[in-house]
Amino acid sequence: MAPKAKRVIKLHRKKVEISERTGKPKRIRHDRGAEAAKRQAKMTKEEWKRWQNPRVAKEWSRPEYVFEPRAANAIYVRDGGEGAYRDKTYEIVTRWTAQTQIRYRPHAKSPGSKSHLRYERYAKAKTIGQSLALGSKPIDWCYDFEHGFIKVVGGKVRDEPIDRSKIESDDELTAVDQAIMRWFIRELAKRYNLKVSDLRLEHGASESLMMRAHRLVANRRAKAILDKKRRISDDDVENVLQTWAFARNMGRLNVMPEGQDWVKSDTLGLLRDRMGSIHVTKPTSAYVSVAKMLNKWLQQRLPSAAASFKWTSINLNCNYAARRHRDANNFGPSFIQAFGSFTGGELSVWPEDDKSTGLSALPSYAKQTVDIKRNLVLFNGNTAHEVKPFKGERFSVVYFCCGCHPQTPRPVAKELKDLGFQLPSATEERHKLLSKPEGYGKKVTRVRKTVLKVFPAKK
């Protein structure tokens, strides 16, 4: 039988062969320089193999963290899930500068490919500035770092990634700074399926690009949960808090565990700043669905015995055990619950503390310790309290009312109400839900039930 004539059509003035099997135009794989790369290889396969010995492999091992399992709810959308690097890798690479001193693993990439040719060229670099000039790009730095091909041996590395919102003029930026910033914003947009324009930071936002990306994803998750119009579960709250990027808060000196100069903590809702301005905090207005979801979560499980509870603000805390302290300016009681996979981390409270005894002199017999993972707890934040040590990932969410609430400007109050905060009236009574502490002047033999209330958590 005579062979079948090939079906050929003209597409965009080019002749394209039609596949017999699929009936669609055959994809023509262009060489794109692969053959030339083979010819130009800087060494033979045999010579290259001599460099791939156990001694070299040990000296140039991959960083430990790349072997850790990825978080179950992490998002990897980049190019169908391929090529997404670890957050830790981005945190490392985005802090490099033109003067960061590096060494490349000799002959890490096998001959015959274009990446071998590129690698042989840029692996001569001794600084990141030279590496960029020799044709390597930030995305190559991520790949090479995760594969153990680059080592940082000295020079300048930033403490924090360069913050666009703090740059006055591009003149202060090196070619490396510019390459990292241009690439990183596009990389995060792809990785988290966000718009580049959404990732642009407003001046003074006090967020890194990575934080902004995480918070936008947290907000998107919170919105999706709210859109389902169902009960908000503890898992929903945990999921959003795991995605949220916490600010390094250096201002909460009273809770800071010993030896630390910052804690991961954010406040949503009303706050009075050091200048006396009473306002809604920036992350509240920038990520409204997070605040709305957290408010709805509490509204849906307010115990009937505390149905009149009011709050203007929410404190979010991540992975620190607050040392013994008293909150300075709370009005009325706070509701607290903890989330995450952890052991320990109970809350200890001195519910009759009236501030007349020094923090370190408080009687230990009067301490009440409650499991705030399994209970929603109403306590007076102005009485002494502390968190027990814990292991694992622990978040706590504290709903409280700012002492400055009677001075809340009207538009601020409107914004808070729209987000689901329950504002007290100007004449609200602060000891309506929990009795006024009586102090430890006379020995307290029993704890009054009216100073600390524990409600089993409803998942």
Binding site residues, Fe ion, CB under 5 A: 327
Pair 434, 333: CB distance under 8 Å: yes
Nearer to Fe ion, 145 or 350 (CB): 350
Please, what is the minimum distance in Å from the beta carbon of residue 326 to Fe ion? 8
CB of 404 to Fe ion, least distance (A): 17
Q: Tell me how far, at minimum, the Cβ of 283 lies from Fe ion, in Å.
A: 19
For Fe ion, the closer of residues 263 and 444 by Cβ is: 263
Tell me the closest approach of the beta carbon of residue 268 to Fe ion, in angstroms.
Answer: 16
Residue nearest to Fe ion according to CB distances in the complex: 327
By beta-carbon proximity to Fe ion, the closer residue of 136 and 380 is 380
Which amino acid is present at 382?
N
| Residue number with CB closer to Fe ion (140 or 327) | 327
CA separation, residue 364 to residues 192, 351, 368 (Å) = 49, 12, 9
d(CA 455, CA 459): 12
Shortest Cβ 324–Fe ion spacing (Å): 10
Buried b (16+ CB within 10 A) or exposed e, 296-335: bbbeebbeeebeebbbbbbbbbbbbbbebbbbeebbbbbb
Q: Residue 327 or residue 352: which is nearer to Fe ion going by CB?
A: 327
Q: How far is the CB of 348 from Fe ion (least distance, A)?
A: 12
At position 183, the amino acid (one-letter code) is W
Cβ 272 to Fe ion shortest distance, Å: 16
Find the Cα–Cα–Cα–Cα dihedral 383, 388, 389, 395, rounded to 10°. Answer: -70
Comparison of 241 and 321: residue with beta carbon closer to Fe ion: 321
Residue 231 vs 355, nearer CB to Fe ion:
355
CA distance 378 to 399: 9
CB of 430 to Fe ion, least distance (A): 17
Could you tell me the two tokens for 350? 């001195």
Residues 96 and 92: their CA atoms lie apart, in Å, by 7
Those residues with Cβ within 8 angstroms of residue 295's Cβ, 6 or more apart along the chain or in another chain: 314, 419, 420, 421, 422
What spatial distance separates the first Cα and last Cα of the chain, rounded to whole Å?
73
Nearer to Fe ion by Cβ, of 222 and 362: the residue is 362
Residue 360 tokens read as 């370190």
